[in-house]
Structure 1
């Protein structure tokens, strides 16, 4: 592909884009504060001040605020916030999961200061009527929680979620695993979460996307030092983080813009491969050909004359193509298996990038000759990923980061694990897509993604770059659809005009 060049360059990384594990966060926070000779209590005061500034700006009309505290430093942040609100004439109360339990260290210092200036008793959370408040601040459980939350916490979480009030979570919604994003039995449903020093991986994907609400990052007074000390496990990315693609040369022609072959579309399933093909055209691929079942040729070509269609000479068209998309609408019958065997046999001997999705992944998952290549791109959802790793979809969702890593290690190429907070894992590292919305949970959306990736690669973008850029391009287009028309009723082809808009 030396005659073409298509780059997707990320802008310089901001602190808010680095992703950290909970253990590295806890260790790094202490080291960063020590390096700067800043007492950890001052870090807690800074967190409380950041919370106060947020509440003052975004909830100035809230007349009754309750802060629900736990017994650790997360609760300490809550007590600092309570003191600042009280000193600035807000009506605020503090309730605790266990008011009689003695706190330790900085959390105890913060609690004593609150009690001294307010002269208020700390309420018992189990008997506090949360419906009396219009803002609930969740400062119960922090990043160190592992295993199911206790019954006492679960009961409070249920009442918080049932209250008719806005909910602000401190650092992480109580009940969310800080590494995986999994709900630990029960978790607070926040409208907004303010997280401090470093972004924890568990805030970004899977169940967490339902519970975090609007995520805001506050580096505090040690954030820059922390980033120097601690190696992130990945990077949070959005379409807005990419530099615009370079303009095409004035003397270019369709042959310079890539040749893509899309393979799929068994009888009765022409729509899937048609969506892939048109998506590739909409992101700029110069020539797109579909190889499908003979019964599907008319449906694939209908009203889209720009897509070439065939059901013959598969080997010839694979040799013609710069990139192959394989799997949308493929099925798993004898035609599918025969087609799969031809594709696999060709790819074993020829170095060519292939994007595999849908039934292509299902066939790959139990085929004896596993295809491994750095040029491979796989785009499974949790059920497909489960089959590829011989586990259940629930096992995949329990730790999406580990699942993406295992897929990458097993198949050697580029893994794009779809879902809320899609994860890309390849030789460049791990990336989590911040874009996307629930309207994307509809038929054909993955087929469009496959076409987007194939179209970018055919134009000369590396498989690694295309995996990262394409994930954000696809989700970013869906966000524009939702902004214009809403999430409900979104269909996959709605993305086409916005894909074209974004690549330009």
Structure 2
């Protein structure tokens, strides 16, 4: 398949993300408020898609445009008309139906025919040798798995030997959740209209969307008058949280972080988390762990303070700490359970991860002085449901977690979500497939913990830490690819990333 192109710089995308369901209902109101017709918006959308297609695939002169029986199909008719008018060789195939097209789509269809275009049967054999496929089958209104013949058509797109441009969203992908309940188009480029939708950024989105671009169709001012569903975060925004340090600052000003974990055989987890905290700028980092881990940790990273975990050391360390991380390598034996109970009684700012989350799932309680960082499996245990249920609607799962447990929740995954019970919600548009390896969560825990120790708020520490984590991994992916990336590889790139004022 020839559907790979260089990844776009996400900084060119908007930072506000709006509900797809709300946008679909609000589009008519937007047209009225701005004195535009819905057909004019359709024409603007088609012009934007055509412009991006020509700039991305300049050598593609033979196009195959596939139109569904809705307004997404109307976008396809308009794109085809523009392509034909530019002298390109365009074949348009459409789904036939006894039902009439929506008014705007019918107007676009008529415009294509008036321009001398023809409409072929999409269920017949497709022509070979097309150099670009335009997916205009299903729009943002999809709520369930596509049915036949749509399933067969989507499979045919994915097997066609040409790059794919999807209009607004890849057919088969749910715009609100990012799930693909059945077949979905694997686009090379997706051009979405008016605003970003969450389903383009989280869930299974990265498997389908390809390069993502957004055109607001001239509705920026109108859109700014409405609250977004969530904020998109990327490395370009780190400067809002991570300011240059005062030249005469000292280590005491940058926090005392305590990390608790590392049962027998799990020294690596607590070592990665603690070094990540140092790299994130924590002033002093103390580790309480199993006694057999003390020498290896001090040898690997002498800047750490490492002690055996027992009642006395924990009492003293909790008094000393300005923030606490518990969970990496903790295990669920009596040793870890005892420490967990003590820290659960403490009111210092804290991050709970790994086995701390598993223990919390067994004894649920709500509080506001912590950050929870579950992956989907841990989130399922916390909510007493299945991983499939978590992933079917990640935003809903995030809201359920914050409502049940309070504080800040970081729901990890491709398109990590950060949220609070009060409704603050963000999506970290960073990271890559190389992070699908052991230890990455420990690194994240250490980074967020280190930022908590530096007195960032719970929400800001979670947002900034998640972005630092993914951005460091993206630097590595750009240099060496994604396969074979190790969690410890990130340690080298955390410090440059938490210094956004540094000349790169």
Smaller-chain TM-score bracket? over 0.9
**Preserved contact between residue 408 and residue 415 of structure 1 (Cα < 8 Å):** yes
Tell me how far apart the structure 1 counterparts of residues 127 and 427 of structure 2 sit (CA, whole Å): 35
**Preserved contact between residue 352 and residue 372 of structure 2 (Cα < 8 Å):** yes
CA root-mean-square deviation = 1.6
Between the two proteins, the alignment pairs up a number of residues equal to: 484
Partner of 1:323: 323
SS in 2 for 1:266: coil
**Per-residue CA shift, 1:211-265, capped at 9, x if unaligned?**
011110100033421332x321111111212326322222222112111001100
1:123 to 105, 120, 125: 120
**Preserved contact between residue 238 and residue 467 of structure 2 (Cα < 8 Å):** no
Q: 1:52 to 1:174 in 2, by over 3 A?
A: same
Q: 1:99 to 1:112 in 2, by over 3 A?
A: farther
Post-superposition shift, 1:300? 2.4
Tell me how far apart the structure 1 counterparts of residues 352 and 86 of structure 2 sit (CA, whole Å): 58
**Per-residue CA shift, 1:77-97, capped at 9, x if unaligned?**
110010010011011111112
Partner of 1:308: 305
SS in 2 for 1:111: helix
Pair 1:150-2:147 in alignment: yes
Within a 5 Å distance, the mapping from 1:146-225 to structure 2 comes to 146-225=143-222
Within a 5 Å distance, the mapping from 1:399-410 to structure 2 comes to 399-410=393-404
1:471 to 446, 466, 472: 466
Gaps of 5+ in 2: 1-10, 500-504
1:81 to 71, 79, 82: 79
Tell me how far apart the structure 2 counterparts of residues 76 and 48 of structure 1 sit (CA, whole Å): 9
Gaps of 5+ in 1: 1-12
**Per-residue CA shift, 1:424-465, capped at 9, x if unaligned?**
002461101111100001100000000000101111111111
Tell me how far apart the structure 2 counterparts of residues 233 and 319 of structure 1 sit (CA, whole Å): 40
**Preserved contact between residue 130 and residue 160 of structure 1 (Cα < 8 Å):** no
**Per-residue CA shift, 1:280-318, capped at 9, x if unaligned?**
000111111111112222232232111111113112101
1:90 to 88, 91, 103: 88
Within a 5 Å distance, the mapping from 1:454-493 to structure 2 comes to 454-493=449-488
Post-superposition shift, 1:375? 2.0
Q: State which drifts further: 219-228 or 451-460.
A: 219-228
Q: State which drifts further: 269-278 or 292-301.
A: 292-301
Post-superposition shift, 1:98? 2.1
Tell me how far apart the structure 2 counterparts of residues 86 and 188 of structure 1 sit (CA, whole Å): 24
Tell me how far apart the structure 1 counterparts of residues 128 and 388 of structure 2 sit (CA, whole Å): 35
TM-score normalized by the length of structure 1: 0.93
Partner of 2:236: 240
Runs of 4+ in 1 over 3 A off after TM superposition: 99-102
TM-score normalized by the length of structure 2: 0.93
**Preserved contact between residue 28 and residue 226 of structure 1 (Cα < 8 Å):** no
Tell me how far apart the structure 1 counterparts of residues 200 and 289 of structure 2 sit (CA, whole Å): 41
Within a 5 Å distance, the mapping from 1:283-302 to structure 2 comes to 283-302=280-299
Within a 5 Å distance, the mapping from 1:8-47 to structure 2 comes to 16-47=14-45
Post-superposition shift, 1:59? 1.2
Partner of 2:8: none
Post-superposition shift, 1:63? 2.6
Post-superposition shift, 1:99? 6.8
Partner of 2:378: 384
